[in-house]
Amino acid sequence: MTLQEYDYVRESPSKLAASCLLLALTMKNLGGWTPTLEYYSGYSAQDLHPLVKRLNFLLTYQPRDKLNAVRSKYSHRVFFEVAKVTPMDMLKLEETLTSS
């Protein structure tokens, strides 16, 4: 979805990927950012928090009337219906990120 948003052009691809991973781990309650992830990505969890919050905001307030091809594609069973995953509550996300 970030490919369709100009606000994310300035982010490095590695930081964007790491932030997406941290958001997915948090959304699915699969643990936090481990020292191994920090070592291999080069980013600490604190480095990623602002971008993780922006990504969750994008999921929460995505426009429903345009650019439906990506949403439609990733709503299919072949892609594990990831477009249908419910975004986290912003306050709960903030709480989870600060506690880890």
Residue 2 in any domain: the answer is: no
Kindly indicate the confidence band of residue 40, based on its pLDDT and cuts at 50, 70 and 90: very high
Residue 8 in any domain: the answer is: no
Residue 5 in any domain: the answer is: no
Q: What is the pLDDT of residue 35?
A: 97
The average confidence (pLDDT) of the chain is 90
Residues 6+ apart with CB under 8 A from 30: 24
Residue 82 in any domain: the answer is: yes
Q: What is the average per-residue pLDDT within 48-75?
A: 85
Residue 89 in any domain: the answer is: yes
Q: What is the average per-residue pLDDT within 2-19?
A: 92
Q: What is the pLDDT of residue 64?
A: 63
- Domain around 75: 13-99
Q: What is the number of domains present in the chain?
A: 1
| Whether residue 65 has pLDDT greater than 70 | no
